[in-house]
Amino acid sequence: MEGMEKRILLAIVLSAIILFAYTYFIPSPKQTQKEQGSEQPVQEKADGISPAEKTTIDVSGEKIKEEKVITVNTDLYKAVFTNRGGVLKHWELKQYWVDLEKKKNVVLFDPGDQVVGSYPLSVFFPDSEISKVIKEGLFNIEGEDLNLSSKTPEGSLSFTFVESKSGKGLKKIMRFHNDSYKVDVDIIPVNISGNYSVSTGSNFGIAEWGEAKMMGFVGPTTMLGTKVKKDKVAKIKGPVYHDGEVKWTALQDKYFISALIPGDKVNKAIIKKNSEKDVQAEIEVPDGKKISLSLFAGPKEYGLLKSLNVGLDHSISFGWFIIWDLSIIAWMAKGLFSILQFFYKISHNYGIAIILLTFIVRVVFIPLTYKSFKSMKGLQTLQPEIQKLQKKYKDDRAELNKAMMELYKNHKVNPLGGCLPMVLQLPVFIGLYNLLAATIELRHSPLFLWIKDLSVKDPYYVMPIIMGITMVVQQKMTPTTVDPMQAKIMLIMPVVFTFFFLNFPSGLVLYWLVNNVLTIAQQYATVRYSKR
């Protein structure tokens, strides 16, 4: 659907050009362990596990016979782990809700009784048999339920499993922080060689497959060096291998993301798909080595992701422009976002912040739009002369163009003067579009009255309709150089734009509506000033 989103915006931008052409011409913490035997010193293995730890019995000495779950509660999330496989089975965000009534929290992972491809923090080894044993094995848990708070800001858990026959196994050490969505993890293979992979788990980080796809990317995303690669789910036919310096690999939707961030060097990420709505991302660890990594699962707040210092903020699509990425668009969107945040701190309402931001942008472009208006007025006065030239040189295109250029030169009129300002404003418009379409800050943010959520469409379509009316008024006030038939065709444009904007987020419609109103006001003032 991201492609559809781009096509819609492409249509809007091209329509706008046509309209105005006519009218305006982070290393992870290292875990150092000192293991001791009961009687004699035990040499610690290179993999970080001593023989004393290779056991499947708990502290009471009884063999583990049943599955146990352990819960981690912080101010930000609730996580539930199981000792079967030592994996995550539930991740719930406490400060984000599915509905406006705040009755149900956003859950980024909870397969329930449904069959799932893999669970978060699953580990896969080249030996499929040992992978299966570890997946179904009951791990020994060191630690208990954690209830973190400002008074108890950190806690840890350890999961250990070693098969008695082969002596092969796995240990996972996890450290939690009350004020962060990030979990620091050490994965330590025991007596297992060869490359292995650690998984995000199926769909972990994707809260919505539906509406979020309309205005944002949903699926696997990987950052290699400085480049971000997005794998469209529909195009994944088999495992996709990304080779390079893996900064992170993740699953995301429009507003939320779950990412594996290696603290040690990793040179391969793997994307897998079991079905259209069952995908996972993995990092491959070489030679059975211990890996320190971080798991981040939370909202795509720009400042929050930026603070991790691993480039996870690049998961937010600030920078695409029609077909290709332009850094100037991303730079502009981020700058506009800073201004929007400033206005929000003043007004405590993102709707009002959008209005103020639109006003500032409009003021900046007053000189350009004024020159555009004057150019269009000049072209309008030349229409009789242009029509004469068109009749005179109707069979000689080259002479017609030459005569018209001479006419423009003599009257000091720039034929591109009306269009050029619109072209120069496009990067700002695209930057604002990306900003308003991608930021989680607008999610569940109200404007007033019936607009309860600026991230979704107007439920009664009031703003899109008013926006369409303002476009008609704007057309009527704009000098035109087209013939009557073309003018009638141009009247279709407000209808087309209104149709496009019916299902656009209210925040975007608000921006365009306010922009139109300010344009009308500027045109009115320009006409009055010109008559003096």
Residue 121 has pLDDT above 90, yes or no: yes
Q: How confident is the model at residue 24 (pLDDT cuts 50, 70, 90)?
A: very low
Report, as an integer, the average pLDDT of 311-337: 69
Report, as an integer, the average pLDDT of 403-413: 75
**pLDDT of the residue at 352:** 94
How far apart, in whole angstroms, are the C-alpha atoms of residue 68 and residue 524? Answer: 72
Mean of all residue pLDDT scores within the chain: 81
One-letter amino acid at 325 equals D
Q: How many CB atoms within 10 Å of residue 127?
A: 16
324 vs 179: which has the higher pLDDT: 179
In this structure, of 35-49, 189-203, 244-258, 302-316, the range with the lowest mean pLDDT score is: 35-49
pLDDT tens profile 199-239: 999 999 998 766 444 567 899 999 999 999 999 998 998 89
Cβ–Cβ under 8 Å, residues 435 and 336: yes
pLDDT tens profile 418-446: 566 666 667 777 777 777 777 888 888 99
Portions of the chain given CATH number 2.70.98.90: 74-316
**pLDDT of the residue at 417:** 57
Compute the Cα dihedral for 483, 486, 491, 497 and give only its sign: negative
pLDDT tens profile 71-120: 999 999 999 999 999 999 999 999 999 988 888 999 999 988 776 779 99
Q: How confident is the model at residue 526 (pLDDT cuts 50, 70, 90)?
A: confident
| Helical segments of 156-311, H only | 302-306
**pLDDT of the residue at 207:** 85
3 vs 384: which has the higher pLDDT: 384
Cβ–Cβ under 8 Å, residues 257 and 120: no
10 vs 93: which has the higher pLDDT: 93
Residues 6+ positions from 15 with CB-CB distance below 8 Å: 493, 496, 497
pLDDT tens profile 258-305: 999 999 999 999 999 988 888 999 999 998 899 999 999 999 999 999
Residues 6+ positions from 181 with CB-CB distance below 8 Å: 76, 77, 296, 297, 298, 299, 304
Residue 241 has pLDDT above 90, yes or no: yes
Q: How confident is the model at residue 415 (pLDDT cuts 50, 70, 90)?
A: low
How far apart, in whole angstroms, are the C-alpha atoms of residue 312 and residue 289? Answer: 25
Q: How confident is the model at residue 128 (pLDDT cuts 50, 70, 90)?
A: confident
Highest mean pLDDT among 194-208, 360-374, 401-415: 194-208
**pLDDT of the residue at 165:** 85
Instruction: End-to-end CA distance of the chain: give it in Å, rounded.
Output: 52
Output Rg (C-alpha) for the chain, integer angstroms.
30
CATH architecture under which domain 74-316 falls: Distorted Sandwich (2.70)
**pLDDT of the residue at 414:** 67
**pLDDT of the residue at 492:** 82
Closest CA to 362 of 530, 529, 520, 528: 520
373 vs 16: which has the higher pLDDT: 373
How far apart, in whole angstroms, are the C-alpha atoms of residue 499 and residue 461? Answer: 10
* Packed helices 366-381 and 506-530: angle between N→C axes, nearest 10 degrees: 60
How far apart, in whole angstroms, are the C-alpha atoms of residue 309 and residue 305? Answer: 8
Residue 323 has pLDDT above 80, yes or no: no
**pLDDT of the residue at 1:** 44
Highest mean pLDDT among 278-292, 320-334, 382-396, 513-527: 278-292
Please give the model's pTM, rounded to 2 decimal places.
Answer: 0.78
In this structure, of 163-177, 307-321, 495-509, the range with the lowest mean pLDDT score is: 307-321
**pLDDT of the residue at 421:** 61
**pLDDT of the residue at 30:** 39
What percentage of the chain exceeds 70 in pLDDT?
77
